[in-house]
Structure 1
Amino acid sequence: MDELDLLARSLPDAPPPSAEVVERARSRLSAAQLSAAQHELTRPSLRFRPVRRRFRWGWTLGTAVVTIAVVMAVVTLVSNMTAVPVPPPVLAPARGNDALRRLADQVAKLPDDSGAYWRKSLVDDYLVRVRAGGKTFNALGTPRSEFWEPHDPKDPVQTQHEESGLRPATPEDERAWRAAGSPAKVQRVCTPGTRAADCPKVPMGAKRVDCRYTRAVEPDGVLGDRRFGDLTMAELAALPTDDRGLRDWVRAHWDLGRPGKQTDDEVLPRSRHLLEMAIRPAARAAVLRLLADLPTTTVRGRAADPLGRPGLEVDFIKGDPSFAEFGKDDEVTEHHTTILDLRTGMILADVTAAGESTEGLPKGAVMRYTAWAPGSGWTDDRPERPRGCRAVRSMP
């Protein structure tokens, strides 16, 4: 590359220099190169190396330095002569929900999956304030649920729910329980004015205290989850995968059976419930994109779910406040987030934390969560009647 090539690459958008400018640059470059060569020939060698070897290295280095200096001078001269305005770079801000869109792109590439049953195995933990032996502390309830939805509507649907006794929530709570005499039952702390029947004593311990299940063929293959109306597996498989079609579908199906007309801001965030259903990866990707474009969605970054699994934490209902009772406080603000699987986009857990502090509950503490246990999703396994559980016609 000669000096003119270097100059051209330095100014790809500038007009070429005039012949006069080029000639002046060549003259200055030749003079500088000659001066550098003469200086190098007259310079004594410090290590008695042959003059020829020293001369070659000095000539190369000297030429490079001088060439760069001269070219930069010409670049400056030509830039000043052309006076072409260069606009400052525009840095577009990063879109806050891009992580959700990237996850959607990844999910869209997954192959369709199927099986004999869609299994949803849930771990539900909730925090409750209790009292015993003059001590007040927190305890955890740990119900478990399973839902088996068949691919073939001729197969039975099975649901199961079981509950064990409460357990102390923290080591400090366990010390308080033991100080109270490790009672087998404790009294729930309820808001003032609650009827005694609605605030009973509850058992402590790991022993299972209740187990119920239902098992029956559902008429017409209608799924148990009716938040979007009476749907079948076939209708879920036909869920639109384009943005506009999905929006229209959600609007039409969420309003079914609900009084009054709801706005898009109220309806479209409800599409997150589709992530709990047996939809194809392409449809799940479309749901993720729809949610990413809503002003009610905020991606909070990577986080571990309550079972320790890595995921993407997303707030799908930002600005939609809710309240709950905890102990004596009947209006504790809640904050809801969802943890999504980093590969499939399926839900790992829904988490509810305290939005404010109250007695026995610091702000940010997890009040309850629902985690999708390992094994959830499509399977060729079939449900067996659970032992030790009583059959009921329907769940309360």
Structure 2
Amino acid sequence: MTHAQRFRDVYEECYPRVLAYATSLVGRQVGEDITSETFTVAWRRVRDIPQPALPWLLGVARNLVRELRRRDSHQYALAAEEAQRISSGARSDVGDVAADVTDREAALQALASLSDADRELLTLIAWHGLSPKQAARVLGCTIATLTVRLHRARRRLEKALEAVSQADGVRSPRTRAARTSAPCTGAARTSVTRTRAGRASAAGSGPAPQYRSQRSTHMKNTHARSGRPDVLRVLADARPDELDPARLAGSPRQHDDLARILAGATDSGAARSQEPRRLWVGIRPLGTVVAVAAVAASVVVVSTLDGQDPSGVRASAHPQSSAATAGSASAASEGRADVQVDGRLELLSVAKKAETPAAEGTYWQTTTRSQDVNVVGAKGQLFAVRTTSRGEWSVGVRPGTQSLMVSGLDDVTAPRTEADKARWRAAGSPVTVQAEASTAAGQGTLGYRIGTGRPMVMRTDAGDKIYALGPRNVSYQDLRELPSNSGELRRQLEKLYGEDSSGAETGGGRTAYVLRQAADLITMPVKPAVRAAAYRVIADLPGVRGLGRVTDPLGREGVGVAFPGTARTPLGSVQQRLVVDPTTGAMLCEQSVLVEPSARAREAGLDAGTTVNYEATTRMSWGERQITVPKNAEH
């Protein structure tokens, strides 16, 4: 069998189920983009696709959603709102009786009351048809851990279902056990019949029926033991129509994406490079589950900094040495953009400062300020908007502690300049405006809401796992065991590049990937020697350009480092920068700078050198108390 035929078989079998999973996380429109990108990754790594392929594919899709959440919280928030609407919907099987409808509504209400982690686990099995072993692979945990989590999640769902039924004054499913316990009767049989009919267009596309066919093995006749209905079966029956793979199979988008991927028209590296990675100042929240509440997240703008050079970083008052100038000229003459001599020495000096021991605490806490820029249009008017916000993240490293992230604090979106405000008013002062956005399938749109937004809080730990490093979720102990030798650390980060089914496909290649992971480590609670090693890894990477002494967007002086290459966006080509404090070894800022503006950006007044987004760290230290969650925060 050729690789192309193997891919076709996997694609036809799994596409509807991957789309159903992605839709449950980010809604149908963005879900189609995630699915397209998932199979683009699969085509590039067709030799690595295991059997069965579905758990691996869902893992890739899950990573892509996590990346979206990390890179563009505003777009993710809108997508999560659509996913919430879908997940709270009900089935519409012909012939349903009122009791069936009541059961389903109660099941969805009960599910919505659970934690993100419980919802993700339960729906992977009940809605998406995975076995516990397969779900463990998607979630990146052992089968033993998942078995314990599943047992607890089922019990919590049972209690929530009972509470919802009592609150609504309806009969609990317990009193209808005789009707609901018979295998594949009533609505369940209707669902199986409909799904089997759908298999003509996509084999194996019915996750809920797959679960039902296996439940006698997994559930051991729970009705006979307890007289209660199997809550996973109740949940499977409540799966919304819009998440039924049989209804998603055979769409024009499915056929178009297959043709595009096999023809080589969709290049995942190029597609992803069109939108730069939005770094969380090196810190990446675990994507344990998609939040089901709609949130107002930060997407912001920054005007061009006075005195910036074309690279977008304001030069420091400190003069560069003649050696630095000579080094720069030499690098240019050789056609290379390696770290300049003075830049590398600056980073090595920073690494030395970072080795200073620091006392450990209970919570590793960071506070950030963010700004981004985008160009929007309304009623023929084109103008730039600015959103600013603040974020706090408190990561518990001791047993029994939690990790909380609050984003969107003091969130405000407004026209960028007075000229932009005039054009906004000429357009009728719309509350909602649209910007262009790059997706895996091409160009899309991104909505902005003018005004203030509510903060969002989410829990970012999963058991003892507190951070994401490459494709892995890692514990505090894992971080403390990282090598302090820069060569060993670099080899470990390069190994992550080979393992990462989504990140390894990102534009910039191995060097940019290792640089990002090293930057992530700098802001994590690693040992000082490991943080120093991460700086040395950055200093020795090829293609990384030292900027010497610079000033970040908040006016703080530091050492600048430019990522290799540029990324294409609707605003033009941008380059990513890091700014670090040479006196303490702390990360100050990560920013994306406009190098070559698009015609649309120029029309809105954005010139080369404009910082189109940044995230500046204003605090990074240990604390003994958990952060306070605002009363108006969305959960």
Into which bin does the TM-score normalised by the smaller protein fall?
A: 0.5 to 0.7
Q: CA offsets per residue over residues 161-199 of structure 1, 9 Å max, x none? A: 227341122343234445556x2515224379999xx64
Partner of 1:280: 527
| More strand, by proportion | 1
Q: Identify the residue that residue 204 of structure 1 maps to in structure 2.
A: 450
- Return the match for 1:368 from 581, 604, 613: 613
- Alignment partner of 1:381 is 2:621: no
User: For residues 620 and 367 of structure 2, what CA distance do their matches in structure 1 show?
Assistant: 6
- Give, in angstroms, the shift of residue 264 of structure 1: 5.6
Pick closer, same or farther for the CA change 1:213–1:244 going to 2, 3 Å: same
CA distance in 2, matches of 1:362, 1:274: 33
The runs of at least 4 consecutive aligned structure 1 residues that moved more than 6 Å come to: 91-94, 191-195, 259-263
Change (3 A) 1:308 1:174: farther
- In 1, the alpha carbon distance for the partners of 2:560 and 2:522 equals 14
Q: Offset of 1:133 from its aligned partner?
A: 6.1
Equivalent position SS for 2:466: coil
1:126 counterpart = 2:126:
no
Alignment of 1:354 with 2:600, yes or no, is: no
In the alignment, structure 1 residue 248 sits paired with structure 2 residue 486: no
Matches of 2:461 and 2:435, distance apart in 1: 41
Q: Please report how far the alpha carbon of residue 382 of structure 1 lies from its aligned counterpart in structure 2 after TM superposition.
A: 1.2
1:282-333 Cα deviation digits (max 9, x unpaired)? 2111111121112222110122212222111111x22x3311123xxxxx21
Note the alpha carbon deviations across 1:121-163, whole angstroms, 9 max, x for none. Answer: 2322111112346542111122433322112031112122227
In 2, Cα distance between the equivalents of 1:200 and 1:253? 31
Query: Aligned to 1:382, what secondary structure does the other structure show?
Result: coil
Matched, 1:111 2:357: yes
Which 5+ residue runs of structure 1 have no aligned equivalent? Answer: 1-90, 327-331, 392-396
Q: For residues 230 and 192 of structure 1, what CA distance do their matches in structure 2 show? A: 28
1-side partners of 2:446 and 2:471: how far apart? Answer: 35
Structure 1 residues 260 and 354, CA, compared in 2 at 3 Å: closer, same or farther? Answer: closer
Letter aligned with residue 459 of structure 2: R
In the alignment, residue 531 of structure 2 is paired with which amino acid?
R
> Are 1:300 and 2:547 matched, yes or no?
yes
Change (3 A) 1:189 1:106: closer
State the match for 1:20 in structure 2: none
Say whether residues 1:344 and 2:584 are aligned partners. Answer: yes
Cα separation, 1, equivalents of 2:462 and 2:632: 24
CA distance in 2, matches of 1:340, 1:216: 26
Q: Are the structure 2 counterparts of residues 291 and 124 from structure 1 closer, same or farther at C-alpha, using a change threshold of 3 Å? A: same
- Report the CA distance between 1:266 and its aligned residue: 5.7
Q: How far, CA to CA, are the matches of 2:569 and 2:561 in structure 1?
A: 21
Counterparts of 1:288 and 1:201, CA distance in 2: 38
User: Structure 2 CA distance, aligned partners of 1:189 and 1:216?
Assistant: 29
Is the Cα contact below 8 Å between 2:552 and 2:588 reproduced in 1?
yes
Q: Deviations over 1:244-272 (max 9, x none)?
A: 32223323344334389898646533423
- How many angstroms apart in 2 are the aligned matches of 1:261 and 1:363? 29
Cα distance change, pair 156–289 in 1 and its aligned pair in 2 (3 A)? same
> What count of residue pairs does the alignment treat as equivalent?
287
Q: Distance in 2 between matches of 1:180 and 1:142?
A: 23
Give, in whole Å, the separation in 2 of the partners of 1:241 and 1:225.
Answer: 19
CA distance in 1, matches of 2:551, 2:512: 29
Change (3 A) 1:191 1:125: closer
Q: What is the alpha-carbon distance in structure 2 between the residues aligned to residue 233 and residue 194 of structure 1?
A: 34
SS at structure 1 position matched to 2:482? coil
Q: Determine if contact 1:153/1:217 at 8 Å carries over to the other structure.
A: no
The reply on whether 1:138 has 2:420 as its aligned counterpart is no
1:347-371: per-residue Cα shift (whole Å, max 9, x none)? 2111111121223221221111111
Q: Distance in 2 between matches of 1:354 and 1:131?
A: 20
- What corresponds to 1:215 in structure 2? 459
Gaps of 5+ in 2: 1-322, 328-340
> Is the alpha carbon distance of 1:333 and 1:286 closer, same or farther for their aligned partners in structure 2, counting shifts above 3 Å?
same
Q: Aligned letter for 2:449?
A: P
Q: Aligned partners of 2:485, 2:440: CA distance in 1, in Å?
A: 49
**Structure 1 residues 295 and 112, CA, compared in 2 at 3 Å: closer, same or farther?**
same
1:378, CA displacement in angstroms?
A: 1.8
Q: What's the offset of the Cα at 1:203?
A: 2.6
Q: Distance in 2 between matches of 1:231 and 1:188?
A: 38
Aligned amino acid, residue 389 of structure 1:
A
Q: Tell me the amino acid that sits aligned with residue 381 of structure 1.
A: R
Q: TM-score, normalization: structure 2?
A: 0.41
Give the distance between the partners of 2:437 and 2:478, measured in 1 at CA.
44
Please provide the CA RMSD for this pair. 3.3
- 8 A Cα contact 1:240 1:283, kept in partner: yes
TM-score under structure 1 normalisation? Answer: 0.63
125 and 193 in structure 1: CA distance in 2 versus 1, 3 angstrom threshold: closer
**Change beyond 3 A, Cα 1:115–1:254:** farther
Pairing 1:151–2:397 present: yes
Cα distance in 1 for residues equivalent to 2:546 and 2:485: 22
Percentage of pairs with the same residue: 22
User: Contact 2:487 / 2:537 at 8 angstroms: preserved in 1?
Assistant: no
Go from structure 1 to structure 2 and tell me whether the alpha carbon gap of 1:172 and 1:286 turns closer, same or farther (over 3 Å shift): same
C-alpha distance in 2, partners of 1:288/1:193? 33
Of the two, which has the highest radius of gyration?
A: 1
Check the 8 A contact 1:321/1:335 in 2, yes or no. yes
Q: Secondary structure at the match of 2:473?
A: coil
Write the deviation string for residues 73-122 of structure 1: whole angstroms up to 9, x where unpaired. Answer: xxxxxxxxxxxxxxxxxx997624111112212222x1223221111223
SS at match of 2:499: coil
Task: Tell me how far apart the structure 2 counterparts of residues 241 and 192 of structure 1 sit (CA, whole Å).
Answer: 39
- Preserved contact between residue 549 and residue 559 of structure 2 (Cα < 8 Å): yes
Supply the distance in 1 between the matched residues of 2:387 and 2:400 (Cα, whole angstroms).
Answer: 36
1: CA distance, partners of 2:576 / 2:585: 18
CA–CA distance in 2 between the matches of 1:238 and 1:287? 14
Would you say the 8 A contact 2:438–2:570 is kept in 1?
Answer: no
Determine if the alignment matches structure 1 residue 325 to structure 2 residue 570. yes
Report the counterpart of residue 62 of structure 2 in structure 1.
none
